[in-house]
Amino acid sequence: MKNVAVILSGCGVYDGAEIHEAVLCLLHLTKQGARYQCFAPDKAQQHVVNHLTGEEQPGTRNVLEESARIARGEIKPLQELDASQFDALLLPGGFGAAKNLCDFAAKGADAEIDPQVLTACKAFAKARKPAGYCCIAPVLIPHAYPAGVRGTIGTDAGVAEAFNAMGGDHVGCAVTDVVEDSHYQVLSTPAYMLAGNIAEADTGIGKLVKRLLEM
């Protein structure tokens, strides 16, 4: 039975992990016979967004505590992730990936990655273990892999340009498809960067998880 580490970035599309994507990732892993363990950074998230109005609101929330909502409490601090204990890595998207796992949302191509996130992603890359990145999470790929690594965030020209500026090789991709860099064992799919509904997101994520476990 394959064992997959899943990194979450909070709870909610605007300031954390995209809930549909996270649940679909966990569902497809389970349906395809894999085990998983969720992890998240134990730190304050960048800010809090009212998901009813879309507006920022006062207060602070912890990324690990918020991610525990999705994981039903079965989650560990990211600092405890040991890549040697897992067969693969998987990251759902959501703005949390671009706000809490890194600061791409604010700095674009000049983004810096949370040190614990970078260490975890690089550990899987160095061990040549397969990794899958969904939605906006692929902006982490150029930081974890050597220059020229292939990946996708869909068709957004601005983000694609930033992906290339960070050292990656962006490949345009439909919402239902997956981009694979077979040399570096890394997969990516647009998910809600392009998806108009949960079914469209499901198709690409299902393909990515299937291929991730095959690799």
Polymer length in residues for the chain: 215
Cα-only R_g, the chain: 15
**Looking at the annotation, which residues are catalytic?**
135
Alpha-carbon distance of 155 to 53, in angstroms, equals: 27
Cβ-contact 12, 19 below 8 angstroms: yes
Distances from the Cα of 17 to the Cα of 95, 101, 109, 148, 193, angstroms? 7, 10, 21, 27, 13
